[in-house]
């Protein structure tokens, strides 16, 4: 009797273990829409080349609906707080570019259906330059730029 119970217990825990492994391996979680890391875009050394590679087009239209919150003067280029905010509808992605960096593309945020146009992060800047926020909304690409003066560059070297 005791032996039979032990069998059942063992079977039960084995089954639970198998489900756990499946979840851990990502078999049961929904597949993420995220594409592979766009290496070419992040390695591009010019703003246009990075955008061309990332979004398939380097053209973008300046738009006042995009607000960039960044310091006018950043004393430490290693930590420059950047906030991009927009109330546009149908936002698909928000990309942040530091024009003066060796590789200008800093980050690309793909937004889900429920996204609100707001991202905030801290970036490294090598020297004084424009920070460009590129927003893809529907099929259109909009942008805004703000100059940040950098006292001490933050990309080492």
Positions touching another protein (CB under 8 A) are 29-30, 32-34, 37-38, 42, 78-81, 83, 98, 101-103, 105-116, 118-125, 154-157
In whole angstroms, what is the distance from residue 73 CA to residue 48 CA?
25
Judged by CB, which is closer to another protein: 105, or 144?
Answer: 105
In 3D space, the residue among 99, 103, 108 whose CA is nearest the CA of residue 70 turns out to be 99
Judged by CB, which is closer to another protein: 14, or 114?
Answer: 114
CB of 110 to another protein, least distance (A): 4
CB of 122 to another protein, least distance (A): 4
Q: Which helix (H) or strand (E) holds 14?
A: helix 2-24
Judged by CB, which is closer to another protein: 110, or 130?
Answer: 110
Q: What is the DSSP string of 53-96?
A: HHHS----EE-TTEEEE--SEEEETT-EEEEEEE--SSEEEEEE
CB of 36 to another protein, least distance (A): 9
In whole angstroms, what is the distance from residue 157 CA to residue 153 CA?
9
Judged by CB, which is closer to another protein: 51, or 111?
Answer: 111
CB of 92 to another protein, least distance (A): 11
In whole angstroms, what is the distance from residue 58 CA to residue 112 CA?
23
């Amino acid at each position: 009797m005791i032996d039979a119970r032990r069998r059942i217990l063992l079977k039960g825990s084995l089954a639970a273990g198998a489900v756990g492994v499946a979840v851990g391996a990502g078999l049961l979680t929904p597949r993420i829409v995220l594409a592979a890391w766009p290496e070419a875009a992040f390695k591009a050394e010019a703003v246009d080349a990075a955008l061309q590679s990332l979004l398939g087009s380097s053209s973008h239209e300046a738009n006042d609906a995009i607000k960039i919150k960044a310091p006018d003067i950043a004393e430490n280029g290693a930590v420059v707080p950047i906030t991009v905010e927009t109330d546009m509808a149908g936002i698909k992605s928000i990309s942040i570019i530091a024009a003066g960096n060796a590789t200008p593309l800093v980050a690309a945020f793909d937004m889900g259906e429920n996204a609100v146009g707001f991202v905030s992060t801290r970036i490294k800047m090598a020297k004084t330059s424009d920070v460009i926020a590129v927003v893809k909304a529907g099929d259109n690409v909009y942008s805004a730029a703000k100059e940040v003066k950098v006292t001490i560059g933050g990309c080492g070297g």
